[in-house]
């Protein structure tokens, strides 16, 4: 298995609550985030959403799809959302939101390992492509969020 550690930062000219709602409501991502093909709730979790499991299917510029489940392990609205991934990717995703002047700063840490044998086999030469691909998908998210909120989003990867 090969380890990947990604950090994405979006600077959003919108209130933190609006940005939080779009990120937290991941079942709506396919309507505004290019590359997110499907989000299916597999398990409901508690009344606050902790313990819920969603299955995500992603498609990007490279000719493959990734599907993995994400179990929500921590929610602190509107500032923090953490999940554990398992399936074709395994690891941890952490959304952190803060405010600075009139912007919401969104930081996403994605620390995962690949479990698909072909990805692990190709990683020594394809790693830069996989990293580029991740950045493309996150930029699509920034573009979609910008349109969704009608607010300027600057992506920094």
Q: How many distinct structural domains can be found in the chain?
A: 1
Please give the pLDDT value at position 154: 92
What token pair was written down for 10? Answer: 């979006």
CB atoms within 10 A of CB 150: 9
The partner residues of 81 in beta bridges, in order of sequence, read 75, 95
- Long-range contacts from 61-68, C-beta under 8 angstroms, 24+ separation: 61/133, 61/136, 62/129, 62/130, 62/133, 65/37, 66/116
Which whole number is the average pLDDT over 31-48? Answer: 97
Checking if the pLDDT of 27 tops 90, the result is yes
Which whole number is the average pLDDT over 41-48? Answer: 96
Checking if the pLDDT of 2 tops 90, the result is no
Please give the pLDDT value at position 122: 82
Query: Can you give the CATH number for the domain in which 111 is found?
Result: 3.30.530.20
As a whole number of angstroms, the distance between CA 30 and CA 36 comes to 5
Q: Are 75 and 65 in contact (CB under 8 A)?
A: no
Checking if the pLDDT of 98 tops 70, the result is yes
Please give the pLDDT value at position 19: 98
Average pLDDT, the chain: 95
Which whole number is the average pLDDT over 84-111? Answer: 97
- Residue range of the domain that includes 30: 3-156
As a whole number of angstroms, the distance between CA 3 and CA 34 comes to 25
pLDDT band at 157; cut points 50, 70, 90 = low
Q: Is the pTM of this model over 0.85?
A: yes
For 31, half-sphere exposure in the C-beta direction (CA atoms, 13 angstrom radius) is 8
Q: Counting runs of H as helices and runs of E as strands, what totals does the chain give?
A: 3, 8
Please give the pLDDT value at position 37: 98
CB atoms within 10 A of CB 65: 13
Checking if the pLDDT of 120 tops 80, the result is no
Q: Express each pLDDT in 5-25 by its tens digit.
A: 999 999 999 999 999 999 999
Only one residue has tokens 């298995």, namely 1
Please give the pLDDT value at position 116: 85
Counting residues of the chain whose pLDDT is more than 90, the rounded percentage is: 83
Checking if the pLDDT of 35 tops 80, the result is yes
């Amino acid at each position: 298995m090969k380890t990947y550690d990604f950090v994405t930062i979006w600077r959003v000219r919108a209130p933190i609550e609006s940005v939080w709602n779009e990120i937290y409501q991941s079942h709506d991502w396919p309507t505004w985030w290019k590359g997110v093909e499907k989000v299916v709730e597999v398990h409901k979790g508690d009344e606050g959403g902790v313990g819920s499991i969603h299955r995500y299917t992603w498609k990007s510029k490279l000719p493959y799809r990734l599907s993995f489940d994400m179990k929500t392990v921590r929610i602190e609205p509107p500032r923090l959302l953490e999940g554990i991934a398992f399936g074709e990717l395994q690891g941890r995703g952490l959304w952190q939101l803060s405010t600075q002047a009139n912007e919401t700063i969104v930081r996403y840490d994605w620390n995962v390992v690949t479990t698909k044998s072909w990805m692990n086999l190709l990683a020594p030469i394809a790693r830069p492509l996989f990293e580029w691909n991740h950045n493309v998908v996150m930029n699509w998210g920034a573009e979609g969020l910008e349109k969704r909120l009608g607010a300027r989003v600057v992506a920094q990867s």
